[in-house]
Structure 1
Amino acid sequence: MALLAGCGGASGAAPAETPAPGPAPAPAAKEPFDIEEALAREAGELPARELRAADWSARVFGAGEAKIEPKEKLVAISIPLGTDTHVECFVYNTMLDSGEVIRNFIELLDPAKVEVARVVPWEVSVHRESPAVFVQALYLVPTAGGKAAGLLKIALHADRARPIACLHDEVGYVRTFERLAKGLFDSFESKSAAPKPEYTDTVILRLDKVPVGFETSDLLKDDAGQRRWLSRSASFLPRDPKSLHIEDEASNVLIDPQGQIKEGVWIETSGGKANHRIELSQRKNFEYEYSGEVEGKKVQGTFTPAAKAWLASPVATASALARLLKKKGSFDLKQQEYMPSVDPTKPVDVQYLRDASGAVTVSLKTMRLVGSLAPDGRPEAFEISAGPPKLTIQRAYVRGKL
């Protein structure tokens, strides 16, 4: 629910050495230029080709052999489509903020040189248990013969261990680029892949029908054998036709044997800056201590939940709801939960109410979400109860048991 509550959502920006795409606008022609015809261009059938680096392999569609160039923090891949420009992909060796990576790529379109006409996300999908985001930016470049058009397409696969970003800067070839990127994401095999979690799920955030974000949550055991709940989310909400409001959010929560929050860290970033970074830990007598920064200001204090009990983790909350879902009829679960994006200084009162029709309403602060829970107690589909445009989350992938 934090995805809808904060409409956003990890920690660290894209490495500075990421190469910038070179603008490749469609040249201004002597004949009238048909932008819609150019945008509809696609490459023909391309054969699959093997890619191999030091500790990973993959398959990618291309008109010729790809060029692979290892660098300090990434591996750069240049893939020909048989068109004017190549697709450039980068395989990183550390987890990244998905939104920050995409924001950095969009900002490579220098406003002093180009005019951005439209920025829009067009796809969020799940590949090898991690979400992938696709964004395109249509831009105009002044030339001696008039304005020329360019289309920067961006894809980011948010794998925990080996995220992959792909770019293509040429008008058209949207579905060709999508097929190439998805093929790379699906076929990627790494010897250094992160351990599989016991449980994972991903929900997709949509504004009307446009996919504008995701949240992926993993339950796994750390090196000490303790259970941790890791959550990563990113949102790409249109600010206007030419820009997106991009946020990243991540949390790492240590869970005690009863499923309660023992300690954790929550981070939210936007525009390259931290909105908040909060650490929380148990003290004694059901007291929690929090410390960190919110909007650049230090915060520190303690609180005791109203029930004088340790706070339920998302695992404990899902388990309680799963038990209630097995019973017929309505139910009403009220509890306090920690959501720093709503209030970092104290827990938030949350109510889960199922009516006679089976619909579930989640209420917190002034927000109401109406929808359904999956049998495991996690969100299946919810809509914010507010005016248009419609903001929803929908479960896209799940594996394992809580």
Structure 2
Amino acid sequence: MGYELAVKALVASIVLGVAVAGVEPSKKMMWRRQVPAMYVFGDSTMDVGNNNYLPGEEVPRADKPYYGIDLPDSGKPTGRFSNGYNVADFVARNLGFEKSPRAYLELKARSHLIPSAITSGVSYASAGAGILDSTNAGGNIPLSQQVRLFRSTMVEMDATVGPQAVSRLLSKSLFLFGVGSNDFFAFATELAKRNRSATQGDVAAFYGSLISNYSAAITELYKLGARKFGIINVGPVGCVPRVRVLNATGGCADGMNQLVAGFDAALESLLAGLAANKLPGLAYSLADSFGFAARTDPHAAGFVSDDSACCGGGRLGAEADCLPGATLCADRDRFLFWDRVHPTQRAAMLSAEAYYDGQAQFTKPISFKQLAQKSS
């Protein structure tokens, strides 16, 4: 009983907006949280270690050097597909946390799910995951299952501090999404296997499945008490080194990018419709990852490379994975891409800052900061 009362008191203080101390290994400082907790859903751009706990040889894991080489003090891989922090970490830091909440499977393995889920949040993100269950099936936690895991977490939260406290907590917390790229990779790969181009019918069916699944995930979380959604759309996946290297010129795959742009427009319409007509009280900020990449001059931002992997091998650094013994660029802060697919820590930081700081051209209808401050 003493433990439960202590947790309830802590929940109350966080929900009321009391400053919470967060200690970074090299810097002791106070972090004033703008939301009481974060719950993260997505793919490898968000994963902070869930895949390290999944069985199977085909599961993508960032568990070997040089991943994590620039993380404070440790310099060790933590399951993040980055040289350091990822986008989820920087969104969290902008909102007053030390970094992203910890991975669900890590918390379960260490019997720390409660009170972590109540006092800071949980990350359900999984590398390789898609909006569709069929995307890289068997090697990740797909979006629908991530939502189910949140539901099971909520049951434990309710049992610990009571449904009313949990309801207040969730209504003020941020639900962060970053998913979809893997669905487009899988779609393109399947077409290549069949040696044909996508028809209008193929594209319509693909979009329909993606939007239906995305809508179901948001609606289910809303029913469970979520009200604030920070959603990052799909970026120009046709410009990652993994795709560029397939082109003799090293250029972007414009067709793939056009396909993504169509989906992003449909996602924008979905969110507007849900907020206006179906889910009263839902608030959201849609971050335009695609537009940020398209409208940001990488060289003006200090990058010397925007087409090659910092860690890899071969042409564009994209013909080999980032593993021990891979070629490593000299200045990681000046490369846009860390490996064949993922951004460097600095690139992730810049995008997260753009989504947070109210740059209207990169967020609709409000910024992440405005979303966090919005009353619920």
Identify whether the pair has TM-score above 0.5, normalized to the shorter chain. Answer: no
Higher helix content, 1 or 2? 2
Which one has a bigger Cα radius of gyration? 1
TM-score, structure 1 as length reference: 0.29
Relative contact order: is structure 1 or structure 2 higher (C-alpha 8 Å, sep ≥ 6)? 2
Normalising by the residue count of structure 2, what TM-score does the alignment of the two structures yield? 0.30
